[in-house]
Structure 1
Amino acid sequence: MDGNGTAGGLRLGSARARWVLLATVLGSGMAMLDGTVVNVALPRIGQDLNASLASLQWTVNAYLLTLAALILLGGSLGDRYGRRRVFLIGVCWFAAASAICAAAPTIEVLIAARALQGIGGALLTPGSLAMLQAVFHPDDRAGAVGAWSGLGGVAAAVGPFLGGWLVDGPGWRWIFLLNVPVAAVVVAVSLRHVPETRDPEQSGRFDVLGAALAALALAGVTYALTETGSTAAPVAGVLGLAFGVAFVLVERRAAEPMLPLELFSSRLFTAVNLVTLCVYGAFSGVFLLLTVQLQVVSGFSPLTAGVALVPITVMMLAFSGRAGRLSRRIGPRLPLFVGPLVCACGVLLMLRIGPGASYWTDVLPAVTVMGAGMALLVAPLTATVLAAVEVRRAGIASGVNNAAARAAGLLAVAALPALSGLTGNAYRVPAEVDDAFGTAMMICAGLLATGGLLALATVRSDALEPDRPVAEPNCEWRCDTTTPPMDPGHCPELEEQQRAADR
């Protein structure tokens, strides 16, 4: 591909590159925004629709459930049928589901519409990142991913502010209606400026059974964690774990698996996804409970609670792109270690937020420190997981990483309220919320510290070097176990790496 924008050679800074970034950031930003914008509206949604805490958890988790379960399939669809095509289908689907959310007359309808939103998100989210990896020149991919991560992180962080403004103004239904005009802009820009790319080696049947088992496994575990007081919870948990085991067994034997398990023969790919589980689980827990704490305990209005998080937006916007370039120069190991620890310090500072909290002395220091850690962490994390695989597998790699992030958020939202003692209608009682918030923030800080230490122990400093082998394949993985291991000289993965090195 050349600098004019054909696949693999688009240069960062060109006019077409800016249009491609606009389309991918706006598209994925809708999904990221809905992952956070709903949080600030939860108390008002519960009041208007007479919903219990469990129902409000499902308002968040219905979206995360379908998103996490199907995002791998979305990446595979894009690799095979065209990343731009599947991305645009997801954008249109997401906009239609958003309109249904806005019109929902009951909490049950809202939960169902949120599940539909997650399907659209599963189609568009991996496509947006895979398009960047496929169309940009190798020298500019880290910068493009850094810009995408930073601006996407801004979309996630600005969600509470936008949600608070809308809840205090025209009402919470507008947080969903806004997706419709944004989707129209994404479609127009993508059709005109984004080239189509696909993986020419993708063929065969789709792993429908794998997708179904993944969804059932996540649903069972999520139900068990959310409905802890229900007699069906233990049964759901056991079934969820059983479906998870069945999913792994099916993926090992499937000719065209939704999750190619050989990806995990790369130690780097496995390690970075484990780090993703830790940090994104913590992020989801913080953003869910902090907005509730600010409104119910500290007495902030929805708008003020959203404005309180603006420093995170500023830090992400100002420094994520620079963090991506820094990780390219010094390697991702140090940013992936320091970033989560800085975030953990910010979360611990949030323990000062309570009744009568001051924004300037209690809230601002905490969110500023957390924003600094997120800015340092997000871009290197994304770039490293893509560097662990071949470019042609960018769709499925980004799908796996996004699935890990969404599954982590799903489990955190389901488990944290129960682990911290917040159940039933207790989210309306300030003393109950305050006690639960302190416990939850300690758990989230522990998750972040674990993620940082894991990165320090497993991620190499040269992970983003362009001439570093992109995987550490185990060719025996695909062999019949009754035969001797394949001769490494005839391993397709190693041969492809050698050809790339020779070039």
Structure 2
Amino acid sequence: MTTEQPVRTRQTDAANDRIDRATWKLCWVVVLGAFATGLDSSIVNIGLDSITTELHSTLSTTQWIVSGYLLALAVSLPAAGWLGRRYGSGPVWLTALGFFTAASLACAVASTPEGLITARIAQGLAGGVLIPTGQTILGAAVGPRRLGRVMGVLGIAASAAPAIGPLVGGLILHSLPWPWLFAINVPIGIVGIMLGRKMLPCSRPSDPGPMHWTGLASISAGLALVVLATSRWGDAGRLDPATVAIAACAAAALATFVVATRRTAHPLLNLSLYRLPAFRAGSIAAACSGALVFGSGVVHALYFQLGHGQNPLHAGMSLIGVAAATAITAPAAGRWIDRHGPAPAALVGGCLAVATTLPLAITPLDLPTPVVQLVLVAYGASVSLVAIPAGVTAYAAVPSTNLADAITQVNILQRIGGSLGGAVCAVLIASHTADLPTGFRLAFGALVVGAVGSLLAALLIASATRPGAIVEP
């Protein structure tokens, strides 16, 4: 009994540890920036045909409006932690949001495909810094015992914004020209900057040492090549020699980063964090959740368009239930985590993810829409319970001085997992266009594998953390 008393005391403290109004306001400011970048990752997809026609271009060129953005996100992401330590997370966040807003305006006024692609790359570079820097600001503001609640609110933007992107894009194109797909970010960004200047804390820059340029170049190149290889694989539906060569170059670049990091006194990322069992468990869970979430985004959209014959707008409307369930569950999941620790939520989320992906993998393609919607709403609830405990576990495991580093690394793993998950699901469907029922069963089967991976990662979280509490490092 005596050994359990500190756990109960810490659990009670966490449950009663209220977050003040100023911190909640700060949280919603950061959510605003995350929402803009999340929305931008998917809103443009539905407008590619219109953009191609009006700019007198080809789809092979304009698809770089999407690919260039994703590649740029991967390139700038590794530098986020170092920039935050060097200049302060608040100024870096404001600068990134300002850059993102200006790039959005440049996209809206672009008159050539080349100009639009360039502006989109600028957007991606800013977005890759904006997301982890915002998480760092919130983590530093609340501490490890209150991470669940703020990450739960942030999860509304991170999970729901990409899901509603196609719907928002369809509604815009229904009555407005394509530049409004980008112009919508401008007022959001301006409001975020104005609020951020008033509410962001005055974080003190530290001395992270000189930029490790070899490490930055190798990991940025490696991540960009991972995204490029998986995108090509998903689009082609097969592994051609060029895609294999790109994947090999990605592996070589990432291996170079690991070797270079071990040999420098000022590494870009502190890889020794993986020696911490809780950080390692949370990181694995983050990679699994990224694969599951991004893979399901591909499968669900195509399921309604190809399997049920819906146009993109109606398909986007059919996905509202998933997005709403994720957004509603996220804050509740955060509160649960702060009260009882991340393990229970992660275990329930993993079980629910398996239970909601398996039925669509073993049933006919022409299930009644209400049945499908019911399953997908339950799946949307599982997304928050899978994704949020992963980040909280990893971030709470490290000292506060390593928080920015930890957040950057977890975001990298989520992006790698997401790229692989989306590519695998796209390939399984694309390679069975003549037999769509089989293709979708295989794709949903891949989601089941991802859900099982999340459940196994939840078991790792349970073994790496003490039951009932998030223990401060």
The TM-score, its normalising length taken from structure 2, stands at 0.84
Equivalent in the alignment of 1:259: 269
Say whether the 8 Å CA contact 1:90–1:121 is kept in structure 2: yes
User: Does residue 388 of structure 2 align to residue 388 of structure 1?
Assistant: no
Equivalent in the alignment of 2:442: 439
Say whether the 8 Å CA contact 1:165–1:306 is kept in structure 2: no
Change (3 A) 1:223 1:132: closer
| Superposition pairs of residues 241-252 of structure 1, within 5 angstroms | 241-252=251-262
Aligned partner (choices 280, 297, 319) of residue 309 of structure 1: 319
Q: Distance in 2 between matches of 1:14 and 1:36?
A: 34
Equivalent in the alignment of 1:493: none
Aligned partner (choices 333, 336, 351) of residue 343 of structure 2: 333
Say whether the 8 Å CA contact 1:199–1:393 is kept in structure 2: no
Task: Kindly provide the amino acid, as one letter, of the partner of residue 314 in structure 1.
Answer: A
Say whether the 8 Å CA contact 1:36–1:287 is kept in structure 2: no
Task: Kindly provide the amino acid, as one letter, of the partner of residue 34 in structure 1.
Answer: D
User: Does residue 51 of structure 2 align to residue 51 of structure 1?
Assistant: no
Change (3 A) 1:214 1:255: same
Quote the offset at 1:368 in angstroms: 0.5
Quote the offset at 1:451 in angstroms: 1.9
Q: Distance in 1 between matches of 2:229 and 2:164?
A: 31
Quote the offset at 1:120 in angstroms: 0.5
Q: Distance in 1 between matches of 2:413 and 2:193?
A: 27
| Superposition pairs of residues 367-406 of structure 1, within 5 angstroms | 367-406=376-415
User: Does residue 371 of structure 2 align to residue 366 of structure 1?
Assistant: no
Aligned partner (choices 444, 454, 466) of residue 462 of structure 1: 466
Say whether the 8 Å CA contact 2:282–2:389 is kept in structure 1: no
| Superposition pairs of residues 88-237 of structure 1, within 5 angstroms | 88-103=94-109, 110-136=116-142, 140-198=146-204, 200=206, 202-225=207-230, 226=232, 230-237=240-247
Quote the offset at 1:392 in angstroms: 2.3
Equivalent in the alignment of 1:411: 420
Q: Distance in 2 between matches of 1:413 and 1:107?
A: 26
Of residues 132-141 and 318-327 in structure 1, the stretch that sits farther from structure 2 once superposed is 132-141
Q: Distance in 1 between matches of 2:136 and 2:252?
A: 32
Structure 1 residue matching 2:24: 3-state secondary structure: helix
Quote the offset at 1:268 in angstroms: 1.4
Of residues 432-441 and 88-97 in structure 1, the stretch that sits farther from structure 2 once superposed is 432-441
Say whether the 8 Å CA contact 2:38–2:161 is kept in structure 1: yes
Structure 2 residue matching 1:256: 3-state secondary structure: coil
Quote the offset at 1:237 in angstroms: 2.4
Say whether the 8 Å CA contact 2:393–2:461 is kept in structure 1: no
| Residues 458-500 of structure 1: per-residue CA shift (max 9 Å, x gap) | 543427845x362xxxxxxxxxxxxxxxxxxxxxxxxxxxxxx
Change (3 A) 1:350 1:304: farther
Quote the offset at 1:74 in angstroms: 1.0
Quote the offset at 1:210 in angstroms: 1.3
Equivalent in the alignment of 2:25: 19
Structure 2 residue matching 1:232: 3-state secondary structure: helix
Task: Kindly provide the amino acid, as one letter, of the partner of residue 416 in structure 2.
Answer: A
Quote the offset at 1:320 in angstroms: 1.6
Q: Distance in 2 between matches of 1:254 and 1:261?
A: 12
The TM-score, its normalising length taken from structure 1, stands at 0.80
Quote the offset at 1:196 in angstroms: 1.9
Q: Distance in 2 between matches of 1:432 and 1:210?
A: 45
Quote the offset at 1:444 in angstroms: 2.1
**If each structure's helix is expressed as a fraction of its own residues, which one has the higher value?**
2
Say whether the 8 Å CA contact 2:38–2:157 is kept in structure 1: no
Quote the offset at 1:177 in angstroms: 1.7
The number of residue pairs the alignment matches comes to 449
Q: Distance in 2 between matches of 1:465 and 1:356?
A: 45
Structure 2 residue matching 1:299: 3-state secondary structure: coil
Q: CA RMSD in A?
A: 3.0
Q: Distance in 1 between matches of 2:438 and 2:46?
A: 19
Structure 1 segments unaligned to the other structure (5+ residues): 1-10, 471-503
Equivalent in the alignment of 2:295: 285
Q: Distance in 2 between matches of 1:296 and 1:397?
A: 40
Q: Distance in 1 between matches of 2:400 and 2:301?
A: 39
Say whether the 8 Å CA contact 1:384–1:463 is kept in structure 2: no
Quote the offset at 1:442 in angstroms: 1.5
Task: Kindly provide the amino acid, as one letter, of the partner of residue 253 in structure 1.
Answer: R
Structure 2 segments unaligned to the other structure (5+ residues): 1-16
**Percent of aligned pairs with the same amino acid:** 27
Q: Distance in 2 between matches of 1:261 and 1:463?
A: 27
Change (3 A) 1:463 1:395: farther
Quote the offset at 1:326 in angstroms: 1.4
Task: Kindly provide the amino acid, as one letter, of the partner of residue 158 in structure 1.
Answer: I
Q: Distance in 2 between matches of 1:153 and 1:237?
A: 28
